Amino acid sequence: MKTYNVAVVGAGLVGKKMVEVLIERNFPFKELKVFATRQREEIISGRSFLIQKTTESSFEGIDFAFFAGTEGEKGASLEFGWKAVEKGAIVIDNGGDFRMDPKVPLVIPEINPEHLKNHKGLIANPNCSTIIMLMAVAPLHKKFRVRRIIVSTYQAVSGTGSKAVEELEAQVHQYVEKKPFGINVYPHRILFNVIPHIGNLSDKFQGYYSEEVKMIVETRKILDCPDIMISATCVRVPVLNGHSEAITVQFDNYPDIQQCREILSSSPGIKILDEPENAKYPIPIDVSGQDDVFVGRIRKNTALENAIDMWVVGDNIKKGAAQNAVQIAEKMIEMKLI
């Protein structure tokens, strides 16, 4: 089997998870390097890595460069992405800087791998909430044709990064010890609270935050459907890991519920957990760490014609970021695009 020189840029939650997933999935790497803003040694997935400072020369001889990206921040790919491509690397970018660039494919491998064929060296990972939603919606779209989507998300603090996880954990101790709450990462206390605010207010869609806009515009690009009507409300909740989404989908054609179940059951990367009578449905504490996206509460919508409701949960750091990026590289190898 051919092997590849691989680099991961970023050593936060997503970067470390990328390293873990590469090892876990037996990705055919010959050498695996980790780059970040400063040099240090760290143990990742039980192995010691010398994390090196990222420079242009870091990408000499690299076949795949995975950029971890950070939600709401400009990623290292802005500075080094296309320079890495010039050095001969295939760049797979988890950040949001190039997702809507018309020359950059935006790919979920189970859904639109054909978009990889005309890549120019840089491929974008969709936003975590978009990935989790479309894993469930896209297989049904192929059969019934989506007309509109209304989605509300319940997003874990890990989506913001390690500092947000630390803040939620610290607030638990502050509550128990009756100490003042430290509020630094979010505009409000996250413990015992929900915050309908992820990202910055959009100029394009009045009243929408950027996370909600991502779900709208990325979905249209991935499905090649610029006319799909989408409304999203994205909410941060005091959950450590795992994004949950309440999704209403209206189709052009009547979606038989049993047929929907059969389609989703046979779709790669999806697992059905739908026994509401036995209180069995996906919850983030169970889905965290899983490869698949879980779907439950599948039912006919009572307010819209040709519509269903679903409850969808996925690990936002794993499938919603690191694993999807690694799967893109695996698909490119499979399709002989490198």
Q: Quick check: 164 pLDDT over 60?
A: yes
The pLDDT confidence band at residue 22, using thresholds 50, 70 and 90, is very high
Question: Average pLDDT in the 168-197 region?
Answer: 98
Does 220 share its domain with 177? yes
Under a CB-based contact definition with an 8 Å cutoff, are residues 333 and 92 in contact?
A: no
Does 180 share its domain with 142? yes
The pLDDT confidence band at residue 201, using thresholds 50, 70 and 90, is very high
Q: What is the CATH number of the domain that holds 85?
A: 3.40.50.720
Does 262 share its domain with 282? yes
Which among 115, 119, 128, 141 is annotated as catalytic? Answer: 128
Q: How many domains does the chain have?
A: 2
Q: Which domain holds residue 120?
A: 4-125+321-334
Does 98 share its domain with 166? no
Measured CA to CA, the distance from residue 154 to residue 313 in angstroms comes to 9
Strand 270-272 and strand 293-300: the pairing is: parallel
Q: Catalytic: 128?
A: yes
Q: Quick check: 73 pLDDT over 70?
A: no
Does 152 share its domain with 277? yes
Does 209 share its domain with 264? yes
Q: Catalytic: 225?
A: no
Residue with tokens 């638990």: 172
Does 78 share its domain with 225? no
Q: Quick check: 71 pLDDT over 70?
A: no
> Given strand 270-272, what is the order of strands in its sheet?
229-236, 146-155, 243-251, 307-314, 293-300, 270-272
Which among 115, 119, 141, 243 is annotated as catalytic? Answer: 243
- pLDDT for res 3: 98
Q: Quick check: 1 pLDDT over 60?
A: yes
pLDDT mean across residues, the chain: 97
The pLDDT confidence band at residue 75, using thresholds 50, 70 and 90, is confident
Kind and range of the H or E element at 314? strand 307-314
